[in-house]
Amino acid sequence: MIDDKLRRLQGPEPAGRYAAYEELVQERKDLIRELMAMAEGSTDPGLHGSRALAIVTLGEYRAAEAVPFLTQHLDFLPAGSVAEERKPTQYYYPSVWALCQIGHPAFARMLQLIETSADPERRHLAAWVLFDVEGRSNSVSRLLERAAQRGGEAAASLRDAARYLETYVQTYHAPQPKLR
């Protein structure tokens, strides 16, 4: 099926090329919806189960339209995930990994989650996405700048997320001695 569409996309007829383009775009949209439905309906919570793999696939497709869905499932931790020292958070949480792959389209949603969530774990996972997308200094400075513009609990949550990232970096990214 896809081979036929790709052939038509390269074909001599402009109308045929455009039709193939539209069909491929629609297939991608349908696939993204199906992956979200699969992840939502899956009863397989394992590390290599259908839920985790559907979520990871959304990241591979850089599916910006899945950001709200992935944010909803940010703290899904597959059964069998064992935290190993010095491995980044994204290795354990499929939605965090997917959002990191999607990148900047997830940024505003992560900031909003940090400001509004009462759950420190979800705020820290969102901060990790910011860290991965923007890098250490940019993510921490953005969080602190936004905290200065906000008041109350939102500012406190933003400062907490910035502290979390700084602590993470100091703990796991300390400069290593140079070998001679």
For 108-167, the pLDDT digits (tens) are: 999 999 999 999 999 999 999 999 898 877 899 999 999 999 989 999 999 999 998 888
- Residue 1, domain member (yes or no): no
Domain that holds residue 72: 45-172
pTM above 0.85, yes or no: no
91-117: pLDDT as tens digits: 688 999 999 999 999 999 999 999 999
Spatial CA neighbour of 78 closest among 98, 53, 101, 57? 53
Predicted local confidence at residue 169, as pLDDT:
72
* Residue in the structure block whose two tokens are 């190993």: 84
Enter the DSSP assignment of 12. S
Per-residue confidence band for 174, with pLDDT thresholds at 50, 70 and 90: low
Lowest-pLDDT choice from 28-32, 81-85, 113-117: 81-85
- Residue 3, domain member (yes or no): no
59-77: pLDDT as tens digits: 999 999 999 999 999 988 8
- Residue 152, domain member (yes or no): yes
Q: Is the pLDDT at 2 greater than 70, yes or no? A: yes
- Residue 93, domain member (yes or no): yes
- Residue 100, domain member (yes or no): yes
Residues in Cβ contact with 93 at an 8 Å cutoff, skipping those fewer than 6 apart: 74, 75, 76, 77, 81, 125
- Residue 78, domain member (yes or no): yes
Split into its structural domains, the chain has a count of 1
Q: Is residue 70 exposed (0-12), middle (13-18) or buried (19+ Cβ within 10 Å)?
A: buried
Q: Is residue 17 exposed (0-12), middle (13-18) or buried (19+ Cβ within 10 Å)?
A: middle
CA distance 74 to 123: 10
77: left (phi over 0), alpha (psi -120 to 50) or beta: beta
